Structure 1
Amino acid sequence: MNATFLRDTVLLISRLLLAALFVMMGWGKLTDFSGAIAYMSATGAPLPSLSAVIAIVVELGLGLLLAFGAFTAPIALLFALYTIATGFIGHHYWTFSGMERYDMWIHFYKNFGIAGGFLALASAGPGRFSLDTLLNATIRTHRS
């Protein structure tokens, strides 16, 4: 197995694993919109209904694009920012005590770890198994 194939396979797996979390969460919010609004209210998100819509669009819509490797670098950068922002909005561990504080602390810093994965993906690119690569190859062929 050559190094390029292995790298592209790992990038595909990375995209799918990162996207899976957000696609599943976005789908859950879409199929239980009232529950999503209630969750947004409980976490103190601004404008809970609008926050729920934004979360669905980002998590489900951009998550699917990321899984397919479309617009990978800009979407990965958006997800890095989104994940850090949602850490501050949804996992404000400093307002809790005891085990709840510890649980929120884990989730807060897990968001930062996930953001690091998105930054690495934005830097590395989508790999060969992506719509980005397919579209770039198609554009190059038509320009020749």
Structure 2
Amino acid sequence: MFKSLQNPLSLSARLLLAALFIPAGISKLTAFAGTVSYISSAGLPLPHVAAALALAVEIIGGVALVLGARTRLAAMALAFFTLVASYFFHNYWAVPQDQQFVQQLLFFKNIAVAGGLLGIAAWGAGAWSLDSKREAVAS
């Protein structure tokens, strides 16, 4: 039974993960100054460059997941981005106790998202993807 669900589940996983990244990237693009300010508040260097990089990774990586194009690379890049962002922006260990619960929740949500992305990187996009079509043509 699960073999017959592999392709729809793979597509669903890609779409659900992309639903997190594409809107976040578009939000960073449409509110670029606010994004730069937020990155500056975390004390990171080159906040303009970091904001541009973040929105590019989220939008391009998210679209790649939707299409199933260079999916393993996109998933690895998004997983790395998510882990780095979690460390700097959801550092629950460094905030006042009354703020720790929400930051800890967001941190571990992102850890789980990174885990899902690493699963996609390990297993690929599935047959319903541009990667699969490209592999079929190359064979």
Q: Distance in 2 between matches of 1:3 and 1:138?
A: 27
* Counterpart position of 2:59: 60
| Unaligned runs of at least 5 residues, structure 2 | none
TM-score, with normalisation over the residues of structure 2?
0.93
Q: Deviations over 1:92-138 (max 9, x none)?
A: 11111233111111111111111110111111210111110111112
Equivalent position of 1:70 in the other structure: 69
> 1:14 and 1:116 mapped to 2: Cα distance?
12
Instruction: Name the aligned partner's letter for residue 110 of structure 1.
Output: K
Amino acid at match of 1:31: T
Q: AA paired with 2:102?
A: D
**Deviations along 1:21-75, whole A, 9 cap, x unmatched?**
1101000011111111112112333211111000011001121111110111121
Matches within 5 A, 1:75-114: 75-114=74-113
**Code of the aligned partner of 1:18:** L
How far apart, in 2, do the equivalents of 1:45 and 1:9 lie? Answer: 40
- The size of the alignment, in residue pairs, is 139
Query: 2:44: which partner in 1?
Result: 45
Report which of the two structures shows the higher radius of gyration computed on alpha carbons: 1
Unaligned runs of 5+ in 1: none
Match for 2:36: what amino acid? I
Q: Which residue of structure 2 aligns with residue 24 of structure 1?
A: 23
Please state how far the C-alpha of 1:12 moved relative to its aligned partner. 0.2
Aligned residue in 2 for 1:35: 34
Question: Is 1:45–1:90's contact at 8 Å kept on the other side of the alignment?
Answer: no
